[in-house]
Structure 1
Amino acid sequence: MTDDCLPSSRRAVLRHLVAAGLSGALPAFAQAPYPAKPIRLIVPFTPGGSSDILGRAIGQELARSLGQPVLVDNVPGAGGSIGAERAARAPADGHTLLMGHIGTLAVNPALYPRLGYDPVRDFAPVAWVARVPNVLVVHPSVPARNLSDLVALARARPGAMNYSSGGNGSAAHMTMEYLKQAVRMPMLHIPYRGAAPAVSDVIAGQVQAVFTGAPALLPHIKAGKLRALAVSSPRRIPSLPDVPTIAESGVTGTSGFEADQWYGVVAPAGTPPEVVRLLNEHVNRALGSAEVRTRLASEGADPMPTTPAAFGQLIATELRRWAPVVKAGNIRAE
């Protein structure tokens, strides 16, 4: 059909659209600004844990700065794998994000043989949020004042020394297994359903040691109910300035040892790079706010503002770190 065959009103509209398109001023066809609707932030664990607390803190700041609500969606199960898979399958438009952490993005691929997502292939790194140092502690009755003492005790009494964790494949389990393999320290693993009972039984003297996040341990260390031997960070932490790092212990195999917990935001693979850059900018801005820094401090976490590429490199490095640990320890998910 030619232009002459169209009604005059249709011809006028068509000429207007063509002219607008040629001038680059066709708002009806322009891409909608981001974010165009509320953002869903999947936290793959139950409410109240560190992932949830950090996710909500970041979400509140993103809502303020981006002008759209950020809805936290707790999707627990299978060590975070269920929520992570749901995020990986979401539309790659920046309106669904995942609050990932060391388990979902680095340990689970080795722990679960039929994982429904790949942390590198299925996600675009957005922002590293925080890192939380682990602290190796023992009950005061254990005659160990440092890591060397603990290693010597464990080697002298194979099978008699034990440690707790929040469950098979948990951060505390993986961290201690990593240390055991590095220094050849035979200790029996006693898994619990959560970090709280795992710590409580060390305080009660039912278990001898635990190597878990600093926030759960600091009050008990200060009260003298637990003795801190070493921290997992590359540097000493301000709250325990007299406690050396694992790498400072001098025990063979600990040079360069590092095993902090970490958290970060990822988006489905294929999310537009400009959206990833914008989100990274706003998360980094949130990490500088007084409110978020207070929340992080309450969790014993250090803010880690950096680029998407740097966070992606962390994920790749951690995948290489933990896969051999899982294999050597013959670790299976619960």
Structure 2
Amino acid sequence: MTKGTSAETVRSSITRRHVLMGAAALTTAATLTTRVAAQTYPSQNILLVVPFTPGGSTDILARLLGQRLEAALKNPVIVESRPGAGGSVGVGSVARAVADGHTLVMGHIGTFAVNPALYPKLQYDPMKSFEPVSGIANVHNMLVVHPDVPAKTLQELVDYAKQNPGKLNYASGGIGSAAHIAMVALADRAGISMTHVPYRGTAPAVTDLLGGRVQLTFTGAPNLLQHVEAGTMRALAVSGLSRLKGAPTVPTVAESGYPGFEASQWYGILVPAGTPKTVVDRLNTEIRAAMAAPEIAERLSLEGAEVWTNTPDEFRSHIATEMVRWGDLVKRTGIKPE
């Protein structure tokens, strides 16, 4: 011990060195773990959770992407439906899953932008519970009516609703679903009032519309185009800023007297927070490559959707913006959960 140096100072110096060495060891271990995770990923079946009932746009897109990812990753991708509470049950289950990239969730405007304002005790935090991977598609909502409704244009529907308050019932896949929020946005803009009939998923809502038990819906075009083509539903408008390739004669809401109106659905893949960045980047690369295939873009276009991919940071920013936009509508119009 040198002169002027106390035993306490020496012990403190040794302790600091041990702490620094320990921290360095932990950092090295974490780096090695991340590298191993990237090199061995995937090491088991991948579960892709759809937080809604089978048959809707979310399910259709999940199965389409799942097939592509399975081929790219050379590993089984299992698509599983976990509906409930406007999609919150399924999304919440993924938030609690192991953060290793083997459990994915199909994110959606309803579960990540609407539910935070709708449910005060949500099982997850859209911004903190997940690592965004990439968007995959935008889906135009299509406003359709049962043939018995005496309206052939959106403006005729608005006029009919004003002349017959309370007579029109519209279906959706549930409170806070994309179909519900789109119709609320349109009714708010047009100044009309209709009765909301929520279902447990899009498929049963469409079934009851076909049977005439409800009069209209404003949901994803992929669920409706076949019925419009068959004449069992009448399409009045689409929610995007451009017309659909699969239904070029159907005008947009913006063209029908409501400039700037847009209420399309967006979808994307997310994983639990803490998933290694290398795994997130690998998934992002494979998803963007899968969705870039010309045949995918053509198929989605004909079904009323468009490919929409981005970086994890871009997807995160989009979610944050949408939470503000649709959260404001939920609060202003007083939408309440069941």
Q: TM-score, normalised by structure 1?
A: 0.81
Q: Which of 38, 43, 48 is matched with 1:37 structurally?
A: 43
CA distance in 2, matches of 1:141, 1:62: 43
Any idea what the Cα deviations from partners look like across 1:71-91, whole Å, max 9, x if unmatched?
434433222212212222233
Does residue 53 (structure 1) correspond to residue 57 (structure 2)? The answer is no
Partner in structure 1 of residue 186 of structure 2: 179
8 A Cα contact 1:62 1:286, kept in partner: yes
Instruction: Say whether the 8 Å CA contact 2:55–2:203 is kept in structure 1.
Output: no
The one-letter code matched in structure 2 to 1:287 is M
Distance, in Å, in 2 between the alignment partners of 1:98 and 1:285 is: 19
Report what 1:102 is aligned to: 109
Residues of 1 paired with 2:122 and 2:212: CA distance? Answer: 37
Q: What's the counterpart of residue 318 of structure 2?
A: 314
Alignment of 1:299-310 (within 5 A): 300-310=304-314
The answer to which of 103-112 and 138-147 deviates more is: 138-147
Q: Distance in 2 between matches of 1:229 and 1:126?
A: 35
SS at structure 2 position matched to 1:79: helix
Aligned-residue offset at 1:295: 6.7
| Aligned partner letter, 1:283 | I
Unpaired runs of 5+ in structure 1? 1-23
Normalising by structure 2, we get a TM-score of: 0.80
Q: In the alignment, what sits opposite 2:263?
A: 259
Contact kept in structure 2, 1:58 and 1:292, CA below 8 Å: no
The CA distance in 1 between the partners of 2:120 and 2:330, in whole Å, is 12
Q: Is the 8 A contact 2:99 2:272 kept in 1?
A: yes
Post-superposition Cα deviations, 1:130-189, rounded to whole Å, max 9, x if no partner, equal 122111122333332322222222222322333222332222221111111122111122
Are 2:56 and 2:201, in contact at CA under 8 Å, matched by a contact in 1?
no
Partner residue, 2:153:
146
SS at match of 1:61: helix
Contact 1:54 1:296 in 2 (8 A): no
Moved more, 96-105 or 160-169: 160-169
1:29 Cα offset (Å): 8.1
Distance, in Å, in 2 between the alignment partners of 1:171 and 1:30 is 37
Alignment partner, residue 18 of structure 1: none
1:166 maps to 173
Spell out, residue by residue over 1:52-79, the C-alpha distance to the aligned partner (whole angstroms, 9 max, x if none). Answer: 3322332332233234433434433222
1:236 alignment counterpart: 243
2:43 maps to a residue whose letter is K
Please, which runs of 5 or more residues in structure 2 have no aligned partner?
1-27
Give, in whole Å, the separation in 2 of the partners of 1:167 and 1:186.
Answer: 18
Q: Give the aligned partner of residue 118 of structure 2.
A: 111
SS in 2 for 1:55: helix
The answer as to whether partners of 1:164 and 1:209 remain within 8 angstroms in 2 is: yes
Contact 2:136/2:269, CA 8 A, preserved across alignment = yes
- Name the structure 1 match of 2:197: 190
Counterpart in 1 of 2:215? 208
Matched position secondary structure for 2:47: strand
- C-alpha distance in structure 1 between counterparts of 2:34 and 2:160, whole Å: 69
Shift of 1:296: 4.4
- Number of the residue aligned with 1:120: 127
Amino acid at match of 2:156: D
**SS class of match (1:87):** helix
Cα 1:224/1:49, change in 2 over 3 Å: closer
Q: Deviations over 1:73-128 (max 9, x none)?
A: 44332222122122222333333322211222112112211001111122121111
Matched positions, count: 307
Output the CA distance in 2 between the equivalents of 1:196 and 1:31: 43
In percent, how many aligned pairs have the same letter?
53
Partner of 2:24: none
Alignment partners' CA distance in 2, 1:53 and 1:255 = 30
Structure 1's 103 and 205: CA in aligned 2 closer, same or farther, altered over 3 A? same
Q: In structure 1, the residue corresponding to 2:35 is in which secondary structure?
A: coil
Counterpart of 1:14 in structure 2 is: none
Which of 65, 75, 83 aligns to 2:90? It is 83
In the alignment, the residues of structure 2 paired with residue 210 and residue 76 of structure 1 have an alpha-carbon distance, to the nearest angstrom, of: 20
- Displacement after TM superposition at 1:307 (Å): 2.1
Q: Which residue of 2 aligns with 1:93?
A: 100
* Structure 2 SS opposite 1:327: helix
CA distance in 1 between partners of 2:187 and 2:114 (Å): 17
My pick for the range that moved more, 237-246 or 214-223, is: 214-223
More moved, 143-152 vs 284-293: 284-293
Query: 1:245 offset after TM fit, Å?
Result: 0.8
Structure 1 residue 277 and structure 2 residue 281: aligned? yes
3-state SS in 2 of match to 1:31 = helix
